Structure 1
Amino acid sequence: MNGKNFNKWLNEMLIPNLPPSSVVVVDNAPYHNLQEDKCPTQSTRKAEIQDWLQRHNIAFNQKMLKAELLDMCKRNKPEPVYILDSTLERHGHTCIRLPQYHAELNAIELIWALVKGKVSSENVTFKMTDVLKLTQNAIDNITTEEWKSCCRHVEQVEARFWRSDIALEEAIERIIIHVSDDEETDTASEVGEICSEEESTDTASETDTIM
């Protein structure tokens, strides 16, 4: 899968079959995150960087080096606008993105597990043509109740994460750090005294050893 194929599937297969005002949940696969008018990077040609700055009405000097132009881009970088989100919004739908590296919050991962289990239990020939048929049959036979069950499980995991975050925040709030505000405390003098005491102790120990 790549951005071009995903966009083709999105426009020709997914959107025409979505009920009105649908919510599409996506993970952080690279082809889900293609940006509109992406901010230039180190690999962007200098002329393209200048074009980007002009499109965003950011003034620059034509004599600036590429590194200086990139620094201006970085300092004026807008919030990313994803092609997927914009495409769905134009058709009246909403896109929700999962947190990175949290597959357990994606209900379809559980559906894939069900599909794989069904295919595995019925695959007796180990021929690719038969596996494809079994896979399509397993997908077609996923029930509404199975989907609801997977979604309920994800909601329980999400609730557990929220409880953990709240408990952690409350625990941190209870931590009290005492900072001395005694103006008469001379840290440098104290350090010097400690060092002197340590040196005296070391000298005494060395003397005892020699004796």
Structure 2
Amino acid sequence: MFAVKRGSAQIENAMPPVVKGLGKWKSTGIKHDKNLYKAQLLELVRTHKPAPFYMAVAIATMYGHHVSYTPPYHPELQPIELIWGNMKGWIGRNPAKTIGDLEEMVATSQERIMSKEWKDAYKEVQKEEDKYLCVLEEENIECADASDGEVESNDSDSQAESF
């Protein structure tokens, strides 16, 4: 079976593109030719498939929060990637000769990461987020976060201090 990430359980399965699900899908009211072949129906199902709605999003929405996802392959928006880069750099400058030494180096590099590094990484990510928001504002592209107003530097400092 496949492993499911925490909080990624879907509330409702999107229309399943399988033959037994086609009967249920036909009752959704989307107009289609009754003489379509299975492959054509499956393509129609794919084009009208709703976006998945996850339980974590539902819970956050219930409590008045908005969930935003970072785009894939953008490590500059993930503080953990900056911390991991620091750890890898330190391990690379102090190469291990055995697996035991490597395990010790990893543990030592983890101990070297203090709250100051996390705060700095968080602030760095916020600078990157601000760059993205500036581009959105310059292009007059509306998004949920940009319409709420700009984040002042004092707010970001106070948020970083809470970590």
TM-score, structure 2 as length reference:
0.59
Measure the CA separation in 2 of the matches of 1:69 and 1:167: 42
**Are the equivalent residues in 2 in contact too, given 1:88–1:95 (CA < 8 A)?**
no
Counterpart residue number, 1:104: 76
Residues 51 and 141 of structure 1: CA distance in aligned 2, closer, same or farther (over 3 Å): farther
- Relative to structure 1, the CA distance from residue 168 to residue 81 in structure 2 (aligned partners, 3 Å threshold; closer, same or farther) is closer
Q: Aligned-pair distance for 1:66?
A: 1.3
**Equivalent residue runs for 1:94-173 within 5 Å:** 96-125=68-97, 127-169=98-140
Could you list the runs of 5+ residues in structure 1 that have no partner in the other structure? 12-31, 171-211
The amino acid across from 1:149 in the alignment is D
Written as runs of structure 1 = structure 2, the 5 A alignment for 1:21-32 is: none
Q: In 2 relative to 1, CA 3–149 (structure 1 residues): closer, same or farther, beyond 3 Å?
A: farther
Distance 1:129 1:142 in 2: 21
Question: Structure 1 stretch 104-113 or stretch 115-124: which is displaced more?
Answer: 115-124
What does 1:76-95 align with in structure 2 at a 5 Å threshold? 76-82=48-54, 85=56
Give the structure with the higher percent helix: 1
Please point out which of 26, 32, 37 is paired with 2:13.
37
Output the CA distance in 1 between the equivalents of 2:50 and 2:105.
Answer: 46
| Shift in alpha-carbon separation, 1:76–1:94, aligned structure 2, 3 A | same
Superposed CA deviations along residues 32-61 of structure 1, whole A, max 9, x for unmatched, are: 7x8562444xxx5423x426627xx52689
Aligned equivalents of 1:124, 1:75: Cα separation in 2 = 52
Alignment equivalent of 1:58, drawn from 28, 32, 49: 28
CA separation of 1:74/1:165 partners in 2, compared to 1, >3 Å: closer, same or farther? same
Question: Identical aligned pairs, as a percentage?
Answer: 23
Aligned length: 135
d(CA) in 2 for partners of 1:148, 1:70: 49
Distance 1:53 1:168, change over 3 A: closer
Three-state SS of the structure 2 residue aligned to 1:99 is coil
RMSD of aligned residue pairs (Cα, Å): 3.8
Structure 2 unmatched runs, 5+: 142-163
Residue 79 of structure 2 contacts residue 125 of structure 2 at CA under 8 Å; is this kept in 1? yes
Distance change >3 Å, CA 96–CA 165, structure 1 → 2: closer
Task: Check whether the contact 1:111–1:150 (CA below 8 A) recurs between aligned residues.
Answer: yes
- Structure 2 residue aligned with 1:201: none
> 1:138 offset after TM fit, Å?
1.8
SS of 1:97's partner is coil
Deviation at 1:77, TM superposition (A): 1.8
- How many Å separate the matches in 2 of 1:145 and 1:116? 18
TM-score (norm. length: structure 1) = 0.48
